[in-house]
Amino acid sequence: MKLSIVSLIACSTVVFAAPYGNGVKNVIMMVSDGFGPASETIARAYMQQNEKLPANYMSVIDKLFVGTSRTRSADSFITDSAPGAQCFSSGVKTYNNAIGVDVNIKPIGTNMEAAHRKGMKTGLVAKSHITDATPAAFAGHAANRAMQDLIAEQMGGLVPALGQNVDLMFGGGRCVFQSNSTKESCRKDTKDIWGTLKNNSWNTISTKEEFETLDSKSQLPIIGLFSKSDMPYAIDYDINNVPSLPQMAKKAIDILSEATKDSDQGFYMMIEGSRIDHAGHANDLGTHLREIFEYWETIKLVSEYIDAHPDTVMVSTSDHECGGLTLGRDNKYFVNTLTYKNQTASFETSCSKLLELKVSQRGQYVTETMIPVHLGTNVTEARASAIIKATNFSECVAGMRDALAVDANIFWTSLGHTGVDVNVYAKGKYTDELRGNLENTDIGNWLTKVLQVDVDAVTKSIQDLNVFQYNFTRSKSTLEYDHYK
């Protein structure tokens, strides 16, 4: 495989002080998927405009700012989420769509696998499929992120040669764990991973009511998947009975903290604000903002935990920016964030309902529900017409985007990721070493160092087993991934 000079940058990394061992017991990695500097700027501006806050107002995450991170993958200046997360989990760059493998498609160890082998308790919390790119990169190995059937088996500890590497998983994507003989399955085979985990003494939960019965003393391992697919956006919670990201994060921290309170080894967990990215793909700023505010709330509770437990460290960053959000357009010098104040539904939810209706019913739905209720505004006849005429999901989303973006004076340059640097936030011991502009692999190497684990040893043991060669064919046909499927 030919590599460009860009990929060789992985060979040049920041050297951190080593070894640690002075009071760090727990490590929390937080990933704000698709969250770029412009998104933080407009979220802060929204709060200032809505709450009439002073010009020097700082969000909870602003106060933890330490530097920036470059986001390129091994084969592209613009990264996919999978190799972006792998830089955090392994400190090794790889090609777009790869999970836990190097550029030659050889499996490599992760710092979560190494932490679990060391005796730490481990956890993953996400609003995406738990087997999707970011969480999968911490506990899975696949030539392509689309191989979620395989990743589910690995994350459930059902590949004997790998063993169990995760103690707690909260998120979405229950369909990947269910046999294709069941109605809600999205697997390609008949394996009942969910039933197997239950038989293997996993505590399996799928409803908010079951989630609420968990307490800090609940027995590990636990898997809670609260949606067939991705978990709903925060803006859509009122029509979905699921736990929120901060609720899942707090419960996970409480359980892992209790499980390790009498141990020399603490816990290592990854928390992802997955759907910040999805809203960026949809150019849905109102939904994007609500996902950011939910992530801020999660940051706040983690920060408070560190205040009470100074043996815990946290780093938060993004794998990439998504959507190319621009604040200001058409040579007009203002931004009205409150254009999105009364939005009550995501474009995803609103457009899905529109396309379920007969064509004859759509006009009334747009004029009586989508625009005044879901968008919470009045728009011109031309903008309403663009939504009514939509024949597919993409056209509907574009119509809703344009109905608000002009008045807000914002613009989206892309429906995908961009290559801009992203912000790094951190709290706890040794986090001063993350100051400045870092390569994304530097963050992964810092995590490995502060965890005091040997990722190379895990890589060697996995490669010596040769357990993956039967399915590690890099498929060009599955390199494109659609979040709306």
Judge whether 12 lies within some domain.
Answer: no
The answer to whether residue 13 sits within a structural domain is: no
Instruction: Examine the domain organization and report whether 344 and 460 are in the same domain.
Output: no
In whole angstroms, what is the distance from residue 200 CA to residue 192 CA? 12
- This prediction has a pTM of 0.93
| Distance between CA atoms of residues 133 and 82, nearest Å | 4
- Distance CA(442)–CA(396), nearest Å, equals 41
> Does residue 17 fall inside a structural domain?
no
Among 385, 408, 431, give the residue marking a domain's end: 408
Q: Which of 171, 135, 167 is nearest to 248 (CA)?
A: 171
Question: Which residues of the chain are modeled with pLDDT < 70?
Answer: 1-22, 466-485
* pLDDT score, position 21: 54
Q: Which residue ranges are tagged as binding site for Mg(2+)?
A: 33, 132, 134, 272
Residue with tokens 């050889």: 106
Residue 373 located in a structural domain: yes
Looking at residue 160, its pLDDT comes to 85
In this structure, the answer to whether residues 344 and 198 fall within a common structural domain is no
Q: 10 Å Cβ neighbour count for 115?
A: 27
Which of 383, 408, 433 is the endpoint of a domain? 408
Q: What is the pLDDT of residue 465?
A: 75
* Total domains present in the chain: 2
Give residue 22's pLDDT.
67
Q: Report the alpha-carbon distance of residue 275 to residue 295 in Å, rounded.
A: 10
244 and 350 together in one domain: no
Same-domain check for residues 216 and 163: yes
| Residues tagged in the binding site annotation | 33, 132, 134, 272, 277, 281, 319-320, 417
* pLDDT at residue number 213: 98
Q: Same domain, yes or no, for 231 and 315?
A: yes
pLDDT of residue 467: 59
DSSP 160: T
The widest CA-to-CA distance across the chain, in whole angstroms, is 68
- Which residues are catalytic, by number? 81
Domain termination residue (choose one: 354, 389, 408): 408
Residues 172 and 228 in one domain: yes
Binding-site residues from annotation for Zn(2+): 33, 277, 281, 319-320, 417
**Residue 400 lies in domain:** 336-408
In a domain, 356, yes or no: yes
